[in-house]
């Protein structure tokens, strides 16, 4: 089944381009343009009053759709923000430094940079557990958790695409006093995720930039009940419903409301809601997306013209992108880019991201292009 009909505007903008970086910047479905314009029109009509309709209509609808994808009911536990970095800092604000953080060596640049700066400033000590070898990661990670204040790891690490196994056991093994945060950015809308069993214990963060197909500015965080009820880093949206009340104590909203920040551009929320509504209307499930992408993975791998060592090995579960370890990652990426074939690389890892906007013919062209670009380099 082809889903290209849903992406005609992005695909027509550069028809010569073969985009295989869905893990980095996913094309947006056509419905997002209408959603973007709807936000503009709502702003023109309502101006300052637009926030009433955003909080009364747009936010509840988006939360319900996000909740349906994640098994979180009406989604009232979700806090929305323009980026996940802001949400991580809001959680961190509620600790007394120095904070003992246990994380991995496979976290995204933003978290890695921030934790290094906290270390420099004496605000945190950080244990970074190596992701590889993958088969022993879960055991090694749980062994490091005893003294943790904050535990942070990815559901699908950005530099390998491996789906972390036994995530439920890792969360269960966390010390009761520790805060657990799971970065789901490369898992959300790429692999089926039901957060009901973990939702009472662990935060879950993701957003619209990658496989949710809605672009920047639309991120969310599931906030477990009873954990950090009054974050210290707080914005006026966290008490939006109490603006007219007078109190000696700073008020917080219920559920995920308590982790809201301050004013931001809400156009991303319109786009993300439009994508999720489209999936409902087209009856496209995350499982269907995963099945489609899995078939494309198999087609590419079966061709045998691989640019390097597949990471993790083929028998292990992975998300929607393939990672290849090669000393020529930059050179292969650059050769492909010159030929309008878009991938990306991180160090010695070439990443190729597949999405529902691809079909078998795209993969066949990719096989040919990658084979030519990797020619002359050792696998």
| 303, part of any domain | yes
pLDDT of the residue at 242: 62
| 214, part of any domain | yes
Asked if 262 and 292 sit in the same domain, the reply is no
CB proximity list for 131: less than 8 A, separation 6 or greater:
104, 105, 106, 137, 157, 160, 162
pLDDT of the residue at 246: 63
| 379, part of any domain | no
| 175, part of any domain | yes
Domain stops at, among 220, 250, 280: 280
From the list 193, 215, 227, the residue with the least C-alpha distance to 71 is 193
pLDDT in tens, the chain (379 residues): 679 999 999 999 999 999 999 999 999 999 999 999 999 999 999 999 999 999 999 999 999 999 999 999 999 999 999 999 999 999 999 999 999 999 999 999 999 999 999 999 999 999 999 999 999 999 999 999 999 999 999 999 999 999 999 999 999 999 999 999 999 999 999 999 999 999 999 999 999 999 999 999 999 999 999 999 999 999 999 987 665 566 678 999 999 999 999 999 999 999 999 999 999 999 999 999 999 999 999 999 999 889 999 999 999 999 999 999 999 999 999 999 999 999 999 999 999 999 999 999 999 999 999 999 999 877 6
Asked if 43 and 170 sit in the same domain, the reply is yes
| 378, part of any domain | no
Asked if 15 and 46 sit in the same domain, the reply is no
pLDDT of the residue at 284: 97
Asked if 74 and 205 sit in the same domain, the reply is yes
Domain range for 21 is: 4-31+285-373
Asked if 270 and 309 sit in the same domain, the reply is no
Q: Are strands 78-81 and 124-129 parallel, antiparallel or unpaired?
A: unpaired
pLDDT of the residue at 245: 61
Q: Tell me how many domains the chain contains.
A: 2
Asked if 244 and 289 sit in the same domain, the reply is no
Asked if 145 and 114 sit in the same domain, the reply is yes
| 188, part of any domain | yes
């Amino acid at each position: 089944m082809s889903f290209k009909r849903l992406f005609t505007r992005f695909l027509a903008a550069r028809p010569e381009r073969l985009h295989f970086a869905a893990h980095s910047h996913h094309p947006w479905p056509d419905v997002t343009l209408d959603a973007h314009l709807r936000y503009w029109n709502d702003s023109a009509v309502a101006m300052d009053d637009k926030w009433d309709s955003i909080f009364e209509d747009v936010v509840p609808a988006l939360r319900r759709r996000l909740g349906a994808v994640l098994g979180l009911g009406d989604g009232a536990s979700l806090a929305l923000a323009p980026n996940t970095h802001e949400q991580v800092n809001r959680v961190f604000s509620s600790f007394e430094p120095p904070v003992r953080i246990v994380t991995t060596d496979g976290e995204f640049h933003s978290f890695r940079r921030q934790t290094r700066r906290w270390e420099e400033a004496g605000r945190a000590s950080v244990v970074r557990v190596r992701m590889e070898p993958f088969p022993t990661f879960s055991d090694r990670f749980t062994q490091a958790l005893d003294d943790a204040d904050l535990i942070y790891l990815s559901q699908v690490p950005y530099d390998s695409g491996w789906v972390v196994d036994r995530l439920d056991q890792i969360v269960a093994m966390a010390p009761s006093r520790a805060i657990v945060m799971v970065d789901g950015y490369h898992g959300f809308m790429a692999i089926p995720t039901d957060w009901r069993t973990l939702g009472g214990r662990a935060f879950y963060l993701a957003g619209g930039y990658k496989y949710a197909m809605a672009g920047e500015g639309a991120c969310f965080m599931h906030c477990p009940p009873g954990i950090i009820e009054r974050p210290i880093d707080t914005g006026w949206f966290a008490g939006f419903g109490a603006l007219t009340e007078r109190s000696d104590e700073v008020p917080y909203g219920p559920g995920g409301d308590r982790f809201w920040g301050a004013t931001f551009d809400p156009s991303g929320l319109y786009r993300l809601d439009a994508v999720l509504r489209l999936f409902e209307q087209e009856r496209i499930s995350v499982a269907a997306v995963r099945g489609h992408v899995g078939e494309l993975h198999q087609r590419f791998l079966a061709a045998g013209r691989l640019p390097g060592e597949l990471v993790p090995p083929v028998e292990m579960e992975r998300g929607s992108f393939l990672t290849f370890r090669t000393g020529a990652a930059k050179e292969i990426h650059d050769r492909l880019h010159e030929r309008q074939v878009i991938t990306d690389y991180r160090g010695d890892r070439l990443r190729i991201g597949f999405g529902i906007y691809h079909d078998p013919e795209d993969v066949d062209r990719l096989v040919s292009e990658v084979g030519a670009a990797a020619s002359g380099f050792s696998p």
